Structures are given as structure tokens and as C-alpha cells.
Amino acid sequence: MSSQGTKLFKMIVELVSSNTKKPRLRTNVKSRWRCVKCDKTYGLDRHHITYKPAKIALLCRNCHVKITSVNMIASIILKRKLTNEDRIRLWKWFLGFKESITEVDVIKALGIDYTFTVADYAEYISMRKKWKM
């Protein structure tokens, strides 16, 4: 994993976290609701694993930003919208991944040979504007 790749992924995560609309569900009340990734019980967001049919999980803000970044990077790499199968595969991989995530890790999770480029980063910015994030 290159340090340049790690920096690029961190920039994408920062952009997602600073530009994402506020989610509909946020709670600071400790309850039985927990982030399914890290078990935090506060600041929970709804994450759509899939949309049709809707499969939703609760994630803390930090984990939600990470999986959203993973999905966006995967969409850029694959040059298409993610299918339910793609999203479920990435979701299962994300739940089991314990380290910092880079675009190289996402490429490995997709099982393809690819090099993330500056043009891909520019495409990410364009997608973010299109999706009004």
C-alpha cells in the first residue's frame, strides 16, 4: 500500500464526511441501537446496504463515512452504479475489515486489477456534485 494511495483515500473520506447531508436518524441516547461495525451507541446514521429491496443498517458517523467512501470508490473503479450484489459483497468485506481502508483495499475487495488515478479522483468530485453530496 503506497502512502500516496492512503493520502488519496483520506482526502475522499474527508470530502464525503464534510459534504454529506445530515441523515434522517441521529441519536445521542444510549440504547439497544448500536453501530453494527464498532458497537458505538451514539451518533447513529441509517445506511442503505441496498435500496431495492431496502436493507438498512445502523452505523456510527465514522463508519458510515467509510462505507460510503468505499461504495463511491468502487463505483468509480467499475465505471457504473453498484448492483445489489456489489453492495452486499462490499458490505460483508467492510464488516470484516479491521485496518485503515485505502482504494487499493477496495480494488482487492472487488477482485480486479486496477490502478486508481487522479482522473478517478476528478470523477469522484463530479459524482459528488451529481449526487448532491
- Kindly report, residue by residue over 9-31, the tens digit of the pLDDT: 665 556 555 544 444 444 444 44
Q: Residue 102: give the domain boundaries.
A: 3-130
Name the β-bridge partners of 46. Answer: 58
The answer to whether residues 76 and 131 touch, using CB atoms and an 8 Å cutoff, is: no
pLDDT digits (tens, 9 = 90+) for 78-92: 999 999 999 999 999
CA distance 102 to 10: 8
Per-residue pLDDT at 29: 41
The model's pLDDT over 40-86, given as tens digits with 9 standing for 90+, comes to 988 899 999 999 899 999 999 999 988 998 998 899 899 999 999 99
Indicate the number of domains in the chain.
1
Nearest to 64, CA basis, from 21, 30, 31, 108:
21
User: What is the model's pLDDT at position 12?
Assistant: 58
Pairing of strands 44-50, 55-60: antiparallel
